[in-house]
Structures are given as structure tokens and as C-alpha cells.
A and B are shown apart, each in its own frame.
Chain A
Amino acid sequence: MKKSRVSKTYQEINEKIRQGRAVVLTAEEMIDMVERHGEAEAARRVDVVTTGTFSPMCSSGAFLNFGHTSPKIRASRVWLNDVPAYGGLAAVDCYLGATEVAEGDPLNSVYPGEFNYGGGHVIEDLVAGNVVRLRLEGYGTDCYPARKQERNMTLSDMRDAILFNPRNAYQNYSCAVNVSDKTIYTYMGMLRPRMANANYATSGQLSPLLNDPYYRTIGLGTRIFLGGAQGYVAWQGTQHNPRVRRGENGVPREGAGTLATIGNLKEMSPRWLVGASMLGYGVSLYVGIGIPIPILDEEMARFTAVRDADIYVQIYDYSMDYPKGDLKSLGEISYGELRTGEIVLNGKKVSAAPLSSYYKAREIAMILKEWIEQGAFLLGEPQHLLPSV
């Protein structure tokens, strides 16, 4: 490629945002822009491209500090609406994980279990302003004598509430099928026997990390849309793995990068944090995330113009191979093909459905675009980039 002729800094782009002059497009709109004007011209014209994703994201949860009442308690065991939270942090701090199931849930003893309520639903209830029942147990110390407490609380009664998700926004993911002859229930949803359906995730061409495949602009300190509020990328997510097969466009052909995200739960909304019940599997949390990508040069213009037809995923069997930990790709398919709702696998027509909401991903990218256009959202320059290749 020719040497970059366009070169912008975070400071320059932020100055334009402050002055209300920044040109912002969504990742969908950027496809047209680059197609029509080429990447050099697009890089010159466009300052920021916004992305979005809305998907069940396990490895999410919240740190809650529910404050003291008299007498004080060292809450070593904590429940919110009967969902256990981890209390081994400090006297009145806990971590509530999205996939924790309510105590007493029959789980899969009545197969497939319904998993009606869990950590993800508590988080949704909290951001919706609903009252939750807090139940605490301590062992009694000289400084914290209480052994049991119960009270009703809302999110605004909490001293602090921080959404901290150790692994979000997977850069690409697998497409799941079931080759066995009975229906299976997985975190990728219900999979009918003999490859009757295929489920996939991520918002493809709108997905944050698919628009910055080598994480040139995303790292600790990147300001993002998180659950309806402004949050941050805190670190690379757990299982972050840049060393995977990639296409010529640099886009991973399987699950690769991930993000740890953080933000103030009190500012978030039930529109963008929604509890999920996966039949026969468990509970989770739909998380809405949007990341603005600065168009620093031509290369970023090219990256952000990636389209569904050029993003490939591997198809894996979740009945035998996945549980055994012996993943063999059954084939490769593009998002473009998946989005038609039907794919052909081994000569057989298979109906394909997403778990992520493209509709909501697009809404997030639009909201983020508005925030930036209005000068209400400045880019956060990453202080530490994610490990790349």
C-alpha cells in the first residue's frame, strides 16, 4: 500500500468534535463512503466511525457496594433476589455475576431447564429502578457484629455500582450446529438434530473489533457506549487471542480479540442491559456496546469499511466436538450468507439465526454517532493498546 497521506491525531479529532465539526458515520454508512470515494478520500472526509453490538455476553457482572446499616455486618454471603453474589471482597462489597442462577432453581433437573431468573436479570432489574431484596449473612466480628440482615434496595440506594465485564465484544465468533440426533441446548441457543439449524453471534460489519481488526485504536482508556452510558475499555478481555487465522483484510476467521469493559451501572439503562434465559443452559446478560473508531489514516478507513460478505466464521459441532474440546471446523461461512437466513452445509440447507440483535447494534451505532456529533462524547485515547500481532 502507498504511504499514508492522511494522518490525524486524537487531539485533532477531539477538537473538531468540540467545535461540532466532526464528520461521523456508522460502520454501515462507511461501507458506501469508501466504495464511492475510495479509502484516501474517505479518510480525509470522515473523522470517526461508530460501531455497535448487542448480544448475550457471559463474563459480565457488577461490583456493588450496598452500604452499612446499624449494627454493621461483614457480609460474607450475599443474595440479591435470591441470586448469590460473591461476598469475599470486603464488608459490604460484592460481585454479582451475570450467569449466576437464582438459588433453588431446578436447573436442568427438569430438562431442559427454563432458568427464569439470575444475575443478568438482577442487573436488568437494578438499572430499571426496581426494588431488589438484599439478603446478607456474616459470621460476626467485634467490628461487624451483625450475623443476618435483609432489606429492600434500589440501585439509587447503593453507594456504588460498577459494571465490570471481564470479557465482552468478542471479535468474531463461531457458528454452532448439532450433528447428533437429539436436540441440544447450549449457550448458543437451541440446536436441532442433524444440523437442522445454525446459530451465530456478533453484529458482523457493525461489530466493534471487526472494524479494527488489529486493535490499532482500542485499548485501556478507550471511551465507549456501555449499557446506555459512557464507559471505558479497561483491559484486554479474558481469552483475548490475537494469534488466529485471518483473512487478507486482516479480519480474524474465528473468535479472537476480546475486551474488558467498565462503567457506572447507575447511569445505565434496561434498554441496553437485558437479562437472558437460555433454555437448558442458564442465564446471561444482553449487553449493548458501541465503540467509536477514529479514522487516523487510510488504513483505518479501509478497516472500517469491512462488509458482512468479507467476514468469515467457522462452523462447529456443539453436540460432540465442542464439549470434548476437540474443535474441527465443519466449514467456513460469511456473515453475508448467514444473514440470508439459510446456508448450505454438506449439500444440505440449514436455517441460520443470530443471537445478537443487528437492529439494536445499529441503534447503538446511531446513538453514539449523535453523541459525538453533538459534542457530548469525546474520544478517549488508549493508554495501553490490546496485544496484537
Chain B
Amino acid sequence: MKALTKKNRSPNIAPTNSQGSEGMAEEQIVSRKIVIHYTAENVDQPIICQLVKTHDLIFNILKARIFPKREGIIVLELSGNQRNFDNGIRFLKDKGLKVEPLSKSVNQNSDKCVHCGACTAFCPTDALSFEPGTRKVVFDPEKCNGCELCVSACPVRAMEVNIF
């Protein structure tokens, strides 16, 4: 779960990592974007509903796709306190679902990118932006929501979104 331990959303609480003291972790509100991979066996289970009811997490669906063989993906932004969040993730994994941070699924191929910036006007989250000074186009996976607009905008196919 290490990769999911990223910056704190709440400005008032100092960021600590999930292995930090229990008391702090209780207070800490985290918000992460994750990709859940479904298979045909578990596609019918009311998983999201359980995340809300049992684990007291708030979710925002960024993307959902079900494919012909009934496997599919769902991209969620999941928020709650750190302990609930960790429990929620464990619950998903116990159900046999593959869970990954979204940031692992989107990549700017640095061999291909020509730093034109065509993607920057489309990226709704500012995950792609010009680095002042160098004028390189840099990608911040933490901001990305997996919308794939950059994939369409990029003339050299440097943006790779592998959510499947």
C-alpha cells in the first residue's frame, strides 16, 4: 500500500505516513485516486456501497468501464481517514479485486515526449504543465484523474494510460 501513501489533503494537518502513530492516523483525512479491476466473478458485488457504509469513505467516480466479457475497471477518488482508507483497500483486496493507485497507470513516455505542450490546454487537473524556465512539459501523476484527454491531444502518443 506504500504507493498509496501520498500527500495529505487537509491543509491543517501535517502530513504523516500511514505507518505513523495511531492517534494521528485517526484524524488524518486522505484522498487518493485508485483503479479497481473487476473480473466477471465479482462484477455484481455491491463493493462501492460497502466502502461507504462499512468503512465510512467518500467516493467520487472518475471513470468506469465494463467490457464485453464482463470484466472492467473503475477509477475512484476515495477519501476518508487514514485507518478507514487502509481498511477499505484491504477489504477490496480481500474480495479478490486488483487495486492500484491511478498514478501507476498513467505515464508520460520521456523517450517520446517532444515537450510541445499540446496536451497542456486539455489536461483538466494541471497534471501536465510547463516547467517554468526549462519550458519542458512535466507530468505530476498525483494530480492526474485518468481522463485520457492528453492521449487524444498528443501528436506523438507520449501519454500512456493503461487502466486495463
Q: Are A276 and B117 in contact (CB under 8 A)?
A: no
- Cβ contacts B123-164/A at 8 Å (1 or 0 each): 000000010001111000000000000001101110000000
* B138 CB → nearest A CB, Å: 11
A374: interface (CB < 8 Å)? no
Q: A354-B116, A357-B116, A358-B135 are in contact. Are A279 and B156 (CB under 8 A)?
A: no
Q: A190-B122, A197-B122 are in contact. Are A357 and B115 (CB under 8 A)?
A: yes
Our pick among A112, A116, A353 for the contact of B119 (Cβ within 8 Å) is A353
* B93 CB → nearest A CB, Å: 35
Our pick among B117, B153, B157 for the contact of A190 (Cβ within 8 Å) is B153
Q: Which residues of A contact B137 (CB under 8 A)?
A: 359
A46: interface (CB < 8 Å)? no
Q: Are B156 and A341 in contact (CB under 8 A)?
A: no
Q: Which residues of B contact A275 (CB under 8 A)?
A: 156
Q: A199-B118, A355-B116 are in contact. Are A341 and B155 (CB under 8 A)?
A: no
A115 nearest CB neighbor, chain B only: B155
A274: interface (CB < 8 Å)? yes
B14: interface (CB < 8 Å)? no
B136 nearest CB neighbor, chain A only: A359
Q: Are B118 and A354 in contact (CB under 8 A)?
A: yes
* B157 CB → nearest A CB, Å: 7
Q: Which residues of A contact B153 (CB under 8 A)?
A: 189-190, 279
- Cβ contacts A270-291/B at 8 Å (1 or 0 each): 0000111111000010100000
The total number of A-B Cβ pairs within 8 Å is: 68
Interface size on A, as a range, is: 20 to 34
Which residues between 219 and 269 of chain A lie within 8 Å of chain B, taking CB atoms? none
B128 nearest CB neighbor, chain A only: A353
Our pick among B115, B119, B121, B152 for the contact of A359 (Cβ within 8 Å) is B115
Q: Are B155 and A56 in contact (CB under 8 A)?
A: yes
Q: Which residues of A contact B130 (CB under 8 A)?
A: 341
A60: interface (CB < 8 Å)? no
* A94 CB → nearest B CB, Å: 25
A352 nearest CB neighbor, chain B only: B121
Our pick among B118, B135, B157 for the contact of A353 (Cβ within 8 Å) is B118
A362 to B135, CA, bound (A): 9
Q: Which residues of A contact B119 (CB under 8 A)?
A: 353
* A203 CB → nearest B CB, Å: 10
A360: interface (CB < 8 Å)? yes
10 other A-B residue contacts (CB within 8 Å) besides A199-B121, A351-B121, A353-B121: A274-B156, A284-B155, A286-B155, A286-B156, A353-B117, A356-B116, A357-B114, A357-B115, A359-B115, A359-B134
Q: Which 4 A-B pairs have the closest CB atoms?
A: A353-B121, A359-B115, A276-B155, A351-B121
* Chain B residues close to A by CB (< 8 Å): 114-122, 130, 134-137, 152-153, 155-157
- Could you name 30 residue pairs across A and B whose Cβ atoms are closer than 8 Å? A54-B114, A112-B152, A189-B153, A189-B155, A190-B122, A190-B152, A197-B122, A198-B121, A274-B114, A276-B155, A277-B157, A279-B153, A284-B155, A286-B114, A286-B155, A341-B120, A353-B117, A353-B118, A353-B120, A353-B121, A354-B116, A354-B118, A355-B155, A357-B116, A358-B117, A359-B114, A359-B136, A359-B137, A360-B115, A362-B135
